[in-house]
Chains A and B, each alone.
Chain A
Amino acid sequence: MPTRNRSRNVTRRRKPAPPSALAKVATGIDGFDEITAGGLPEGRPTLVCGGPGCGKTLFALEFLLHAAARGETGVFVTFEETEEDIIRNAASLGYDVPSLVKRRRLALEYIRVERSEIEETGEYDLEGLFIRLDHALRSTGARRIVLDTIESLFAGLTNAGLLRAELRRLFAWLKQRGITAVITGERGTDTLTRQGLEEYVSDCVIFLDHRVADQISTRRLRIVKYRGSSHGTNEYPFLIDRRGIAVLPVTSLQLIHTSTPERISTGLDWLDEMFGGKGYFRASSVLLSGSAGTAKTTLAAHFVDAACRRGERALCFQFEESPAQYTRNMRSVGLSLDRWVKKGLLRIHAARPTLYGLEFHLATMHRQVDEAGPSVVIVDPISSFTGASFDEVNSMVMRLVDYLKSKQITALFTNLIPGTGASQEVEVGVSSLIDTWILLRNAPPGEQGGRHLSILKSRGMAHSSEKRSFELTDDGPVVLSRSRGSNTARGVRG
């Protein structure tokens, strides 16, 4: 009896799922399930491909680990890394693989094919591989499997024609059994994978890219194909950090934010007064722009302080000073932010803007916001992202504004106007996204008053159109005088 016939006995007879409804399984990978409207195609093979170090093994690993944590069993078949490597990688994400294996949530199968040890003579097939996969799946009852990286077989065996045929058979075999599979592949020269085969027999193809431009690394993810499902063709930026992969949806956000009439204090009575005595709208975005030394950071800190006084959580992104430096400087103008940090109400995240790409910063901000759960976020200053192009900064701010609004978080951005304030390039782009725009200026030499503040716009609320002079004292910004023309204007549009 030919082997092929016998192998059917191995195969658990299972009717393929009805082709009509495309069910998806969540990967649990941050942001990925969002951009694919549910995750990977259930019961079908998905190829995850890219160059070395693109994160494909991590993607595959996360796919199983998150499921295992939820109680779904998976099989990780590794052709390259040893079981110990996998255990170590998973541990760095906070997963205890040996425990998952013990609880039968995960099975590791290390398949090694070493060409130097093998002599080929006469006909053969890969039934041994099928039997091993079958055994691993059956003994655990797993419905999901990872094959990382199956093309390693081509390095171990010489009969490429046979291997291709067997690989095809494997994909069909997995599909017939309704196993959700993630197969990883190394990028080829002209094709997505070296063999140029896996992308055709997979129902879903995900391409991961890792680029370094101007010493800044950016990772991007693209869904090349997704049979039976609509999908975005965008490149989605993603990052890899201690929590694994996080994909950032670029345009999934729409203008559906619910707006609230609630107002929150700016942190300064006289500034609240300029906004009809009530301050900013909650969940709105505020831009504080001004040239160097116009107290942008101080005004922003007052806003944070006020939030913490109300018992709300605040998150501060500092791109120019270290947290210690920042709190010390704020102490010198009468603000004690340390106590909020100690109370767990304030989190200060400092980073060098030039160290990473914008995407990385954006992704980090998402993560920080997720972890801290603030009601107020300040970014001080957005103008420090000078390395990137104007469009890129603009799009980053737009996405951040969108994201924070969707979470009902009030956001305050500071922005440095270089020189005397002639260039307002960044603002022109960003200002349309901003609900409230405040301009700060140093008083011209000889004129009374240190700094001037004026509200350029504030959507949907009555606000003062006058210019206020203030001075920074040990007790914070104090208003000096009231200029003429205390009429109020209604900001309708930006």
Chain B
Amino acid sequence: MKTRAAARKKSPSDEWILRLYVAGHSARSAAALRNLEAICEQHLAGRYRIEVIDLLKHPQLARGDQIVAVPTLVRHLPQPMKKIIGDLSDEENVLVGLDLRPRLRRGGARS
């Protein structure tokens, strides 16, 4: 079901809002942002927005999105909300997590 939603053709107004929570300028945070940008450019070119939130500067913002692990990527739009934690180094997993690619166990039903 999740994969079907992603497979639907998106109108140009369908903007993706992605929020990346990091803690300071760690190597892991930097890698996560780099990986995210690369994935977005490739799959969502022209229709995504990335907000980077440094929790060291804005600790109060961790509460709203229930952040525990760092880095955490939160897909705010489109709905439903998705969370991916880690440095986003595994592109396949990130795509699955963002519903940009179906899960493998779904018998390879590609979009």
Contact = CB atoms under 8 A, between A and B. Distances in A.
Interface of A: 1-3, 6-7, 9-10, 109, 111-113, 117-129, 131-132, 134-135, 153, 156-157
Interface in B63-89: 63, 66-72, 81-89
Interface string B13-46: 0000000010111111101100100000000000
A123 B69 contact: no
A121 B23 contact: no
A111 B66 contact: yes
Contacts of A129: 68-69
A1 B26 contact: yes
A156 B85 CA distance: 12
A1 B66 contact: no
B94 A121 contact: yes
Nearest to A135: B59
A10 B57 CA distance: 10
Query: Which of A1, A118, A126, A156 gathers most chain B CB within 10 Å?
Result: A118
Contact of B59 (A3, A123, A124, A134): A134
Nearest to B26: A3
Given A120-B86, A124-B86, A134-B59, 15 more contacts: A3-B70, A6-B24, A6-B56, A117-B83, A119-B85, A121-B85, A123-B86, A124-B70, A125-B28, A126-B68, A126-B69, A128-B21, A129-B68, A135-B59, A135-B60
Contacts, number: 120
Contact of A124 (B27, B28, B35, B90): B28
Contacts of B27: 1-2
Given A2-B27, A121-B93, A131 B59 contact: yes
* In the A-B complex, the 10 residue pairs with the closest CB atoms: A119-B97, A6-B24, A122-B86, A135-B59, A122-B87, A3-B26, A121-B93, A122-B89, A128-B67, A127-B70
Given A125-B70, A126-B70, A132 B26 contact: no
Nearest to A129: B68
27 contacts: A1-B26, A1-B27, A3-B24, A6-B25, A10-B59, A111-B68, A112-B66, A113-B66, A118-B83, A119-B84, A119-B96, A121-B85, A122-B87, A122-B88, A123-B89, A124-B87, A127-B23, A127-B70, A128-B62, A128-B67, A128-B69, A131-B55, A131-B56, A131-B62, A132-B59, A153-B68, A157-B85
